[in-house]
Amino acid sequence: MSRSNVARLLVSCRDREGIVASLSGALADVGANIITSDQFSSDPYGGSFSLRMEFYVPNPDERLAQLEQRLAELGSKLELDYRLVDARRRKRVALFVSRYDHCLLDLLWRWRRGELGMDVIAVVSNHPDLRDEVARFGVPYHHIPVNKETKSDAERAQIDLLCGEAELIVLARYMQVLSDDFLRRIGCPVINIHHSFLPAFAGAGPYLRAHHRGVKLIGATAHYATEDLDEGPIIEQDVIRVTHREGPGELERIGADVERTVLARAVNWHLDDRVLLQGHRTIVF
């Protein structure tokens, strides 16, 4: 089976009878064959319904246009919030980083190996340190310095560079807080990796604070960035067990491994359209 003939349908709505039957019928009408179908309902009697279908469709340029018309009719009738995705298109992604390189290089490595279905259009950093490392991957590197006096100017430069170009921004240990204005204007989702198992130890210096508390588990959280710092919808989390023998530096080294894998999983799920928002929660299929 060619992936060039695969598309995805994402649906969110109030649960009621006939939703799956209607959608399946619409797909059958255009000659599509469902490959996978996942759904979740918070309550079968009027709860929140989420669905992700992946399907094979012959002649996708023609058939997807027909399906879009059918979905528009169903969307009005069933009050559906839906999105039809052509899996042939790779999402355009920009990576933000400061000086810590482990998450950035892991994503670039996975991308180069074909593990992440994206086009990396830029790396943006407030420091010049990683320019040579990024050059080895053939990705443009944009050094945009940031300080208290120039923060608004720097964000305007980032918006001018990426607005309308990037479909996803990944903060691969970008040690700057993005303003509400930036998040509103950039026009695409932003995924952040936080080096803590949120909501525990939010903010700066979590490993030192975790060491002082004598924690036995440390972890990382990938979430969508919102105007509420470190409180956006959580996509993925993981933990690893530690003991009293590890100091803050060792905890940070161990935590870096968790950060890499958690962020890679979250980015991959977003690229595959597996993450649906349901209020402040995520449904991950």
Burial class (CB in 10 A: 0-12, 13-18, 19+), 16: middle
3-class SS letters over 58-104: CCHHHHHHHHHHHHHHHHHHHCCEEEEEECCCCEEEEEEECCCCHHH
Instruction: Please give the sequence-ordered ranges of beta strands (E in DSSP) within the chain, or none if there are none.
Output: 6-14, 33-41, 48-56, 81-86, 91-97, 118-125, 141-143, 168-171, 190-194, 217-224, 234-241, 275-278, 281-284
Q: Can 230 be counted among the known catalytic residues?
A: yes
Candidates 129, 230, 257, 272; catalytic one: 230
How many whole angstroms separate alpha carbon 70 and alpha carbon 64?
A: 10
Other beta carbons less than 10 A from residue 118's beta carbon = 20
Taking each helix axis as running N to C, give the angle between helix 248-271 and helix 102-112, from 0 to 180 degrees, rounded to the nearest 10: 40
CB proximity list for 173: less than 8 A, separation 6 or greater = 97, 98, 100, 102, 103, 104, 193, 195, 259
Residues classed as catalytic: 230
